[in-house]
Homo-oligomer: A and B are copies of this chain.
Amino acid sequence: MNALPRYQQLKQQIIGQISRGELKPRDRVPSENELVGSAGVSRMTANRALRELNDEGYVERVAGVGTFVADLQSASHVLEVRNIADEIARRRHRHSATVITQKNERATDEIATSLRIDRGASVFHLLLVHRENDVPIQLEERYVVASFAPNCMQQDFCRQTPSAWLSAIAPLQEAEHKVRAAMPNDEIRKHLQLGDREPCLVVIRRTWSNGQPVSFARLYHPGSRFELTGHYTPPGIRKSTPEPAP
């Protein structure tokens, strides 16, 4: 009947004090050494409890100073951005795709800046339409740093999505997203079969591998047929969210 490990008990105890208001934001939390005395645990155990509370956003620790209750204020809600093929599969619908453009190009200023390469450097350019049960649901415009894209011209992106292909050749470590609403131009409207006054939900995604930008994509979705269904809030608060780049 030995319930929780000691470090978990310690965590629960401190979380309880915070949620009951006995410990308020910016209040001092007992130091590791104090917990050694008061809770009768070793310092490593106290350290693990406080370190995990820090990782989970309940407290903030400053070496040489102490441990303090975090002011949680803006619990940052999160929203998931799924791969379109996965999203469709999750709905048990059928995914299909048509390649419109598949070629190597010279990087424009915008693309070069986004991918941190020289203007005019070689990039792989891809344009394709994703369909859900034969209805266009996403126009994917993607640029990949050429050196990361071996055999890119031999790939059949109707069978393997660019996203799946990329994660196979360069395991992504970081990603950056922007979501906008915008009116499509005529070409996009045509490919997505949009009405005249129908806006697009645009997801702009940049992915990184080994500290290097690898891919830049603009994903256009019909406003009437697509939504980002985010969800839930974790109890712990996320802390700093360092940008991969300045």
A residues apposed to B, CB below 8 Å: 18-19, 44, 55, 73-83, 86, 167, 171-183, 197-202, 205, 209-210, 221, 223-224, 226-233, 235, 238, 241-244
Contact = CB atoms under 8 A, between A and B. Distances in A.
Contact of A243 (B86, B176, B231): B231
Closest 6 A-B residue pairs measured CB to CB? A199-B199, A177-B230, A181-B223, A181-B181, A181-B201, A179-B228
A227 B176 CA distance: 13
A241 B82 CA distance: 13
A55 B78 CA distance: 18
Given A182-B223, A232-B241, A78 B75 contact: no
A180 B201 contact: yes
A79 B82 contact: no
A201 B179 contact: yes
Nearest to A176: B231
9 contacts: A55-B55, A178-B228, A181-B201, A181-B202, A181-B221, A181-B223, A183-B199, A197-B197, A232-B244
A183 B171 contact: no
B227 A178 contact: yes
Contacts of A171: 18-19
B223 A199 contact: yes
Given A76-B80, A79-B81, A167-B75, A181 B210 contact: no
B82 A81 contact: no
A227 B179 contact: yes
A26 to B, nearest CB: 15
B223 A180 contact: yes
Given A76-B82, A77-B177, A241-B80, A172 B233 contact: yes
A210 B21 CA distance: 13
A89 B74 CA distance: 12
A172 B72 CA distance: 11
Contacts of A180: 201, 223, 226-228
A224 B199 CA distance: 12
Nearest to A18: B171
A181 B200 contact: yes
